[in-house]
Structure 1
Amino acid sequence: MKHSNRRRPVQPPRSAFAGFQFPPDVIMVAVRLYLRYNLSYRDVEELLLERGVEVDHVTVFRWVQRFTPLLVDAARFCRHAPGDRWFTDETYVKVNGVWRFVYRAVDQHGQVTDVLVSARRDAVAARRFLRRAMATMKVRPAEVITDAAPVYPAVLDDLVPSAWHHVERHANNRVEADHSQLKHRLRPMRGLQTAQTAQTAQTAQTIIAGHAFMQNLRRGHYELGIDAPRGLRVAAALAELATAI
């Protein structure tokens, strides 16, 4: 049997929006509204209906869960490198009626370096968070500021022995104040909810990571939407990213 030497045409990558009933601009508006403003899924459903788009709030939830990680991943090449001073702390949120800990770090420029939702507040969780943050950002901090939690000295000595670990009263106010923005965003949701208990951790992680992404985007830590007026920067940035996914 004779084989042809002709090359097959190169197929363009399949869009993440392929197979969805609604066009990409509608999906991006819904995701942007949810991540940017203090809205519930039902609020987004109502705002879309006012604009002639009839979509169920469960569908909005699925869009947020599907496209938020894709947007964050597509934007990583446009993200500014974080500073070398990391203010690290944990806060807590309620997920399906159960309290969960959220590890967060903010650099000296106000960029949220990473977030991690954990069922426990211990050395294992702290180690996982810091290792993940350094791997994601490809940066090792020169200074880490924490509260007086006893788990940090050993974890930092192991992961970043060259970093100066700073523990001092009020030294970590920067990240503690930043926690309040997350709490303010989650308040309309009355705790993160999902019908599938097995997916609660991933659901919470996606939403909280999406909040951090939006926060960093608005603070100018990405080379996205830079030519747009300040009030339109987020919309322009997501429009750019939509073409990449």
Structure 2
Amino acid sequence: MRRDNPMPSYKGHRYPVEIINHCVWLYFRFPLSFREVEELMLERGVVVSYETIRRRCAKFGQAYANQLNRRRARPGDKWHLDEVFIRINGRQHYLWRAVDQDGNVLDVLVQSRRNGNAAKRFFRKLLKGAEYVPRVIITDKLTSYGVAHRELMPSVEDRRSKYLNNRAENSHQPTKQRERAMKRFTSPGHAQRFLSAFSGISPHFRPGRHRLTALKWRTEMADRFAVWQEVTATDAAASK
């Protein structure tokens, strides 16, 4: 998924780049509140308010996620699509998510419905971001997917089975954990903004440790932190 949004400027910010990107990393990587990030930074001798952390996460979170997405290899040609219930201000909404066969998140969309129009809206967003058509899509037996498939991707094979879509269902787990830690989303827009950035940043630091030896995991994490330094422009800012 490619996005060409430029990185916001650090010019005029009181805190150096290292502190800004560390706060953003803590918030999107772990199930922490802004106040908990504030406390962790205070323990390190950095006095920064939770409101400042909130503003920096809002400003830089999506930009960092976009840069990480730009550096990823092209997603696979098998897409798993699924939707899950989330409650926002007492009302039921649906989080639509697509991942490829390797578990890479392709896109997410928060909507109030899961009818045919909602499915088509998600398919359009997904195709626009991916810029290519998959070979296969795997969905559960929700009829809304069939409507969108017939209109927008008729040439793509559609495999429907609740047993084939475990990869998409499993990809919801970090989001549900984070939703519980945050207590609630305040609005659909808030949920969309957070989950778009979260889906780009959090998986970058989840290389599947259960599949790696300790040495390989440390090496992989070192490489991923190096990419993080690049996308947050830490080295460039430090050299000025």
SS at match of 1:87: strand
d(CA) in 2 for partners of 1:45, 1:141: 43
Equivalent residues of 1:82, 1:139 under 8 A apart: no
Match of 1:166 in 2: 159
What pairs with 1:16-55 in structure 2 (closer than 5 Å)?
16-55=9-48
Change beyond 3 A, Cα 1:164–1:64: same
Match of 1:180 in 2: 173
SS at match of 2:12: coil
Matched, 1:115 2:102: no
Matching residue's letter, 1:238: W
SS at match of 2:83: strand
- Could you tell me how far 1:192 is from its partner in structure 2? 2.0
Change beyond 3 A, Cα 1:157–1:32: same
Matching residue's letter, 1:212: S
What pairs with 1:68-79 in structure 2 (closer than 5 Å)?
68-79=61-72
Which of 142, 148, 156 aligns to 1:155? It is 148
- Could you tell me how far 1:188 is from its partner in structure 2? 1.1
SS at match of 2:46: coil
Bigger helix share = 2
Equivalent residues of 2:119, 2:148 under 8 A apart: yes
List structure 1 runs of 4+ shifted beyond 4 angstroms: none
Equivalent residues of 1:90, 1:103 under 8 A apart: yes
Change beyond 3 A, Cα 1:85–1:123: same
Matching residue's letter, 1:172: N
Equivalenced residue count is 221
Query: TM-score with structure 1 length normalisation?
Result: 0.82
- Could you tell me how far 1:15 is from its partner in structure 2? 5.7
Match of 2:197 in 1: 210
Match of 1:229 in 2: 219
Match of 2:121 in 1: 128
- Gapped runs of 5+ residues in structure 2? 1-5, 208-217
Matching residue's letter, 1:85: K
d(CA) in 2 for partners of 1:22, 1:81: 35
Give the superposed CA RMSD: 2.4
Q: 1:33-85: per-residue Cα shift (whole Å, max 9, x none)?
A: 01111111111011011111112212212111111121122334312111111
Query: TM-score with structure 2 length normalisation?
Result: 0.83
d(CA) in 2 for partners of 1:28, 1:176: 30
Match of 1:241 in 2: 231
Change beyond 3 A, Cα 1:179–1:123: same
Higher-Rg structure is 1
Match of 1:196 in 2: none
Equivalent residues of 2:27, 2:37 under 8 A apart: yes
Change beyond 3 A, Cα 1:96–1:52: farther
Matching residue's letter, 1:39: L
